[in-house]
Structure 1
Amino acid sequence: MEPVLKRRGRRTRLGYGAGAVTAALALTLTAVGQASAADVNNARNAGFESGLSDWTCSANSGTTVASPAHGGSAALKATPAGQDNARCSQTVKVKPNSSYSLSAWVQGGYTYLGVTGTGTTDVSTWTPDAPSWKQLSTSFTTGASTTSVTVYTHGWYGQAAYFADDVSVFGPDGGGGGGTDPGPTVPAAPAGLSVTGTTSSSASLSWNAVSGATGYSVYRDGTKVTAVTGTSATVTGLAASTSYSFQVTATNAAGESPKSGAVTARTAGTGGGGGGGSVPKHAVTGYWQNFNNGAAVQRISDVSAQYDIIAVSFADATGTPGAVTFNLDSAGLNGYTVDQFKADIKAKQAAGKKVIISVGGEKGTISVNDSASATNFANSVWSLMQTYGFDGVDIDLENGLNPTYMSQALHALSAKAGPNMVLTMAPQTIDMQSTSGSYFQTALNVKDILTVVNMQYYNSGAMLGCDGKVYSQGTVDFLTALACIQLEGGLAPSQVGLGLPASTRAAGGGYVAPSVVNNALDCLTKAVNCGSFKPSRTYPDLRGAMTWSTNWDATAGNAWSNAVGAKVHALP
C-alpha cells in the first residue's frame, strides 16, 4: 500500500520525505557542546526524588510517581486539564554572560521544555507523544545581569499526561548569590525589540525588560525621540509609506546601556496597512511542488486558474546564514527547464496571478537570528525575485523563527521590492494560539506589509479556540474558532486565510471536504452555516483560503480549487 504522504515533503538523500511536523512550537534545537570541568547541574531536585520540592505546578497538575522513572526512584507526572497545560517550573540560579545546556527526559503526551528570563533569547523545545523515555535538549546564554532563570515543562490542552525526569541546567555554578551590594551598574542593552503595529503615522514597539533598568530611551534613525518607564512605546508623527529604523536603550542611575539591535518599521499608506498590490480582495493560495512525491507533476502553466497566488515550494538554504537560493528540479519535473519556468511565471502574471517563492517547509532550516543573517535573507530573496520574476515571498518556517530579525529582514525586503510585494505566511496551528508566540509576533510586526496568513489547519490534533474551548481538527468549528484567534488578535480580516489540504493524501490529518471549508467561510463572513461555535461578529473582508498543494489538487481532478475557489471568489 502506498504510504500516506504528509505535509510538504523535502528532498533527502533517499528522495522526498513525507513526515509532517505535528503542532510544532517555533524553535531551533542547538546541539549540546562539551562542558568544562567546572560545570554543574544547577537544577535542584532534578530527579524528583524529594517529591515536588523546589518545583511549582499550575492548578495542582503535578505529582510524583515511582513508575515510570528514567533514573532513581521517582519522576514527575503532570496532567493537563481544561484550560491548564500542566506547567511545572523551578527558579534556577545562574551566572551572567554564561552558556547553559538544558535537558530533560520525557515520556507520555505532548511535552515541552523551556526557559524564560535568560536576559537574551528564551528557548524551548518539544516532542509529540513519546511512548518511551526521550531526551529533550536545547541551550541558552544568560544576559549581562541575569542571575536566575525559570525552567519549565508543560503539556498541551486536551492531551494526555506527561512524565519528566532528570532535568539538567548544565553550566557554570550559579551558587547561592549574596555578597555586598555594589549599587546600580549600567544596564545591559535591551533584547527582543520588535514592531508590534503601525499606522500611516505611527509605529508601536515592544522589547524585553532589562534587570536593573529604571527607564528606556527610544531612538529613531539614530536620534532619541522618546523616553518611557515600561517596555513598550508608540512613536508618532511619522510619514505614510515610509521605513524607519528604531533602537532602544535601558537607563538607570548609573547611566545608559548600549543601543539594542535595530528593527525597521514601514508605516502604512494613507489607505491602510497590508501589502500585496493587486491581489484580489478574496484570494485562493496554492503551493506548487518543485519535486515529485507522488502527486501530479505540474508546470506552473498547469496550475488551475482558480489560484490567485501560487507559492513555489521551496527555496533552499545556502552555506551563508540567512541566505536562500532556488534550484528548479528539472529532472524530477520531467525536463521542465528554467526558461520554461520563467516564461510560465510571466504568463500567469499576465493573467492577473501572483507567483511567489516559499521559504521553509517541513524540513527547511533557514535561520535568521541576527542583523547579518536578516540582511542576507532580504538580499537573497530579492535576488530570486529579480532572477525569476517572483512577486514576493511566503514564510513557511516550521523549525524556528526569530520575530525580531525575521521582521527586520522582511521590512528590508519590502524596502527593496516596494508596496506591491506579496508577503504570505503559513504557520502551523500551534504557532498562532497566542499573540506571544514568535510566529504571531512576526505577523503583527509586519502587518503593514503583510498580504495574508494562511494558517495550516491540519496535522494539528486538538487546539484551543478563541472561546477557550478545545476543538479537534477536521471540523468546521476547528476552522472558525481558531481563525477567530487571529481575527481578534490584531490581524486584519483581509490578512487571514484558511489553509487546508487538497486531499486526504496531502496531509496526515485534518482534511475536510471542500464543503466544510465553504461552510467555515460562510460562518466567518456571513454568520451562516456555522457549527457549535459562532463568532461574535462577522468578517466580510476575510481574504480567502489556501491549500497544500496544487499538485495534490490536480491529482484529485482539481475538486478542491473548483469548489473552494468558486466560493472564495463569490464572497462579497
Structure 2
Amino acid sequence: MRRSRLCVLMAVLAMVTGGFLAGPGTAGAASAALPKHSLIGYLHASFANGSGYVKLADVPDAWDIIDLAFAEPTSPTSGEVQFNRCPAEECAGVESDADFIAAIRAKQAQGKKVLISIGGANGQVQLTTTAARDAFVSSVSAIIDKYGLDGLDVDFEGHSLSLDSGDTDFHKPTTPVVVNLISALQSLKSRYGDKFVLTMAPETFFVQVGHQFYGGSGGGDARTGAYLPVIYALRDALTVLHVQDYNSGPVMGLDEQYHTMGGADFHIAMTDMLKAGFTVADTGQTFPALRDDQIGFGVPATGEAGNGYTPPADVQTALTCLAKGTGCGSYTLRGGPIPGLAGLMTWSINWDHFSGWAFQDAHRPFLDSLS
C-alpha cells in the first residue's frame, strides 16, 4: 500500500527533527540499533511495591530495552487489556502522561526500545475465543499507538496458557488459548511491520520443562511447555526470548541431570537448551534451536526481587560460558557457544534502583566486554 504525500512529509519531518510521530499502524522507530548484547529490564509503571517508584526519565542509559509493567486484562477471558499508570497516591512523584510520553521519545532518540509488557503474575490472559483475540489486538494496539511504543513483551504466567488434552503437536496446536494468542501476535506484527519489537518472558515451567513433560501427558500439569507452540509459530517475528531463570524448581537439562536455580550452572543449562534445541516429551518431535540473537535469560536484580537471585560473578560466569564456550565448569554445551547472545534481562529496574544500581553497574560493562 502506498503512503499518502502527507504521510511521507510527516515521516521526513520526523527524521529531520529527530522526533517521533506515532499513529495507528506505527510502532516506535529508534534512531540507532541495539548493542550486540542488551541489558533488558522491567519498569514498574502501573503499581508500587517495596522497591519504590522510578520515573522513566530517571532510568539510566545502561538499559537498552525497557518493559513497562504491566498492562492487564479487564477480566481473564475478555481479551481487553488496559495500561493504567500508577496513581499519585500510590506512587509518590509519578510523572504526568505528557512527561511520561516525552521520556519515551527521549529514550527512543537514544536508540532504546520501550515496550508494553502484558500479564505479569496478577494479569491472567486467556484468549478463549476469537472475540477475545480481536479485543486483545485492538486494545494492545491502542496502548502502543497512544504512547508510541516500540512493541510488546509477552509475560503470560500462572494459568494464562495451558494445553488441552490431546494437543501434542507444537507445530499445529489446537488449544484455543494458544491458537488465538498466536493469531493475535501475528496480527500485531503484521500491523506494525519489521520494526516491531516482540519479546517473551516465560517461566522455565512453560519452556524447558517441556523436555521432560508436555501438557497433561502422563497425568501431568497441562501448562508444562505451553509456550513452545507460541515461540515456534512466532520464531521469525521474535526479537528476544528471555526466559525467567528464577522462581523455578529444578529442571532437567540436555545432560539429563537436574539443575537448580541460583548459580551459573542453571543459566548455562537452561540457555543451552534454546541454542541446541531439545526433544519435547511424548511427542516424538524436537523443538528447534533459536537464532543466537534471539536468546537471552532473566535473573532477579536483588534477593528481594525474587527467588533464584544469582550473584554477579556467577551471572558473568554463565554469560562467558554461553558467549565464548569457556569456563563452563562440568557442563558441556550441546549447542556450542552463542557469540551473538541477545543479552540479559532482570526483574526489575526498580529493584536495581533500590539496591543502588548494583545490577546495572556490574553487568552493563561486562556485556560490553563480551562484544
Aligned residue number for residue 409 of structure 1: 184
Q: Distance in 2 between matches of 1:547 and 1:415?
A: 28
Q: RCO higher in 1 or 2 (8 Å CA, sep ≥ 6)? A: 2
Higher mean C-alpha displacement, 483-492 vs 448-457: 483-492
Aligned residue number for residue 384 of structure 1: 143
Q: Answer whether contact 1:292 1:333 (CA < 8 A) is retained.
A: yes
Aligned residue number for residue 341 of structure 2: 542
Q: Out of 116, 119, 122, which is 1:357 matched to?
A: 116
1:385 CA drift (Å): 0.7
Alignment of 1:483-502 (within 5 A): 483-489=271-277, 490=288, 491-502=290-301
Report the 3-state secondary structure (helix = DSSP H, G, I; strand = E; otherwise coil) of the residue aligned with 1:412: helix
Find out whether 1:313 has 2:69 as its counterpart: yes
Q: Out of 341, 353, 361, which is 1:554 matched to?
A: 353
Q: Distance in 2 between matches of 1:562 and 1:555?
A: 13
Write out per-residue CA displacement over residues 199-225 of structure 1, whole angstroms, 9 at most, x where no aligned residue. xxxxxxxxxxxxxxxxxxxxxxxxxxx
1:336 CA drift (Å): 2.0
Aligned residue number for residue 79 of structure 2: 322
Aligned residue number for residue 371 of structure 1: 130
Q: Distance in 2 between matches of 1:570 and 1:384?
A: 36
Alignment of 1:3-42 (within 5 A): none
Q: Answer whether contact 1:432 1:485 (CA < 8 A) is retained.
A: no
Aligned residue number for residue 563 of structure 1: 362
Aligned residue number for residue 322 of structure 2: 524
Aligned residue number for residue 289 of structure 1: 44
Report the 3-state secondary structure (helix = DSSP H, G, I; strand = E; otherwise coil) of the residue aligned with 2:154: strand
Report the 3-state secondary structure (helix = DSSP H, G, I; strand = E; otherwise coil) of the residue aligned with 2:35: coil
Q: Distance in 2 between matches of 1:315 and 1:381?
A: 9
1:529 CA drift (Å): 2.2
1:494 CA drift (Å): 1.1
1:403 CA drift (Å): 2.6
RMSD over aligned CA atoms reads 1.6
Write out per-residue CA displacement over residues 226-250 of structure 1, whole angstroms, 9 at most, x where no aligned residue. xxxxxxxxxxxxxxxxxxxxxxxxx
Q: Distance in 2 between matches of 1:353 and 1:569?
A: 16
Report the 3-state secondary structure (helix = DSSP H, G, I; strand = E; otherwise coil) of the residue aligned with 1:344: helix
Q: Answer whether contact 1:518 1:567 (CA < 8 A) is retained.
A: yes
1:302 CA drift (Å): 1.3
Find out whether 1:333 has 2:132 as its counterpart: no
Query: Could you tell me which amino acid in structure 1 is paired with residue 233 of structure 2?
Result: N
Query: TM-score by structure 2 length?
Result: 0.76
Query: Could you tell me which amino acid in structure 1 is paired with residue 179 of structure 2?
Result: T
Alpha carbons of 1:403 and 1:565: their partners in 2 closer, same or farther (altered >3 Å)?
Answer: farther
1:543 CA drift (Å): 0.5
Aligned residue number for residue 440 of structure 1: 228
1:528 CA drift (Å): 1.5
Q: Could you tell me which runs of 5 or more consecutive residues in structure 1 were left unpaired when the two chains were aligned.
A: 1-276
Alpha carbons of 1:307 and 1:285: their partners in 2 closer, same or farther (altered >3 Å)?
Answer: same
1:461 CA drift (Å): 2.3
Q: Out of 44, 54, 59, which is 1:303 matched to?
A: 59
Query: TM-score by structure 1 length?
Result: 0.50
Q: Answer whether contact 1:394 1:426 (CA < 8 A) is retained.
A: yes
Write out per-residue CA displacement over residues 277-321 of structure 1, whole angstroms, 9 at most, x where no aligned residue. 943332111000122211032001111211100000000212572
1:367 CA drift (Å): 1.5
Write out per-residue CA displacement over residues 493-546 of structure 1, whole angstroms, 9 at most, x where no aligned residue. 211111000000101x21011121111111011112223212131111111110
Aligned residue number for residue 219 of structure 1: none
Report the 3-state secondary structure (helix = DSSP H, G, I; strand = E; otherwise coil) of the residue aligned with 2:227: helix
Write out per-residue CA displacement over residues 68-126 of structure 1, whole angstroms, 9 at most, x where no aligned residue. xxxxxxxxxxxxxxxxxxxxxxxxxxxxxxxxxxxxxxxxxxxxxxxxxxxxxxxxxxx
Query: Could you tell me which amino acid in structure 1 is paired with residue 321 of structure 2?
Result: C
Q: Distance in 2 between matches of 1:445 and 1:533?
A: 30
Alignment of 1:180-191 (within 5 A): none
1:568 CA drift (Å): 1.8
Alignment of 1:55-134 (within 5 A): none
Which is strand-richer, 1 or 2?
A: 1
Q: Answer whether contact 1:430 1:460 (CA < 8 A) is retained.
A: yes
- Aligned-residue identity in percent: 38
Q: Which structure 1 residue ranges, 4+ long, deviate > 4 Å from structure 2?
A: none
Aligned residue number for residue 19 of structure 1: none
Q: Distance in 2 between matches of 1:566 and 1:328?
A: 32
Q: Answer whether contact 1:330 1:336 (CA < 8 A) is retained.
A: no
Q: Distance in 2 between matches of 1:382 and 1:281?
A: 28
Q: Distance in 2 between matches of 1:440 and 1:305?
A: 33
Alignment of 1:162-181 (within 5 A): none
Aligned residue number for residue 304 of structure 2: 505
Q: Distance in 2 between matches of 1:296 and 1:570?
A: 31
Find out whether 1:514 has 2:312 as its counterpart: yes
Find out whether 1:419 has 2:194 as its counterpart: yes
Aligned residue number for residue 33 of structure 1: none
Report the 3-state secondary structure (helix = DSSP H, G, I; strand = E; otherwise coil) of the residue aligned with 1:438: coil
Q: Distance in 2 between matches of 1:283 and 1:311?
A: 13
Q: Distance in 1 between matches of 2:103 and 2:303?
A: 29
Q: Distance in 2 between matches of 1:438 and 1:337?
A: 38
Query: Could you tell me which amino acid in structure 1 is paired with residue 252 of structure 2?
Result: L
Aligned length: 295
Report the 3-state secondary structure (helix = DSSP H, G, I; strand = E; otherwise coil) of the residue aligned with 2:231: helix
Report the 3-state secondary structure (helix = DSSP H, G, I; strand = E; otherwise coil) of the residue aligned with 1:405: helix
Which is helix-richer, 1 or 2?
A: 2
Q: Answer whether contact 2:263 2:315 (CA < 8 A) is retained.
A: no
Q: Could you tell me which runs of 5 or more consecutive residues in structure 2 were left unpaired when the two chains were aligned.
A: 1-31, 162-176, 215-224, 278-287
Report the 3-state secondary structure (helix = DSSP H, G, I; strand = E; otherwise coil) of the residue aligned with 1:506: coil
